[in-house]
Structures are given as C-alpha cells and as structure tokens.
Amino acid sequence: MDPWFDSETAGLIGGIAGGAVGVLFGGVGGPLAGYFVPRGTYKSLVLGYYIAWGVLGVIAAIIGLVAVFSDQPYHVYFPFLLLGGLCTMLSALLTPVIAKQYRRSEERRLDAEQFRDA
C-alpha cells in the first residue's frame, strides 16, 4: 500500500497540528478554566471544551491506529498517535479535576448564602 503522504508532509502536519493543540488546548483552555472555574460560571462551556478535545484526541488516535494496521510507515501514523494520545490523556486527566473544582465553587456559593441568611 502506498503511504498516505511523504515524510515532509508528515512533518508539516505534525508541526501545525502540534502548534494548534498547544495554543488551543493549553493556551486557550487553561486560561478559560482558570478564569471561569473559581467563579463557578460557564460550566458547560468549559467542560464541553475539554471533552471536545478528548473526542478529537480519540479520533486522531483512531486514525493513527488505522494507519498502523494498514501498514503505513512510521512518519504517517506517529503524528496521529502522538497528538491523539496527548489530547485524550490530558482531557481525561483534566476534566475530572475541573468538574471537582466546579463542585467546590458551588459549595462555597451555598455556604456563603447560608452565612448571609444566618
């Protein structure tokens, strides 16, 4: 089977996709969570953002696995498996932490409400 693309194209795909993941996942997702989670606002937006990155990671990993099982060369499957694995792992690790922090924020809000009413 012919390779899906050559090694130069693989480098371009890996570099652009890696940069985009770094900027959008870390550079946008981090401040998004850091600003809204302590305030307890936009919960569905923030959690949805991280879940969407997990879904994109799974899709990229599946593409990488399809490439592996269809005997594509290393330079074809590696960028997909690397980015897919990173996005999936980071999303799987960070989403529960963010959800827990939202619960803590809600508890603080309820405690403050009870304190004001007392």
* Whole-number Å distance between alpha carbons of 110 and 48: 24
pLDDT tens for 12-58 read 999 999 999 999 988 999 999 999 999 989 999 999 999 999 999 99
Phi, psi of 33 (to 5 degrees): -70, -40
Contact 10, 76 (CB under 8 A): yes
Q: Is the pLDDT of residue 1 over 80?
A: no
CA 18 to CA 3: how far, in whole Å?
21
Q: What is the pTM of this model?
A: 0.84
Residue showing tokens 């009870």 = 114
- Distance from C-alpha of 106 to C-alpha of 62, rounded to nearest angstrom: 37
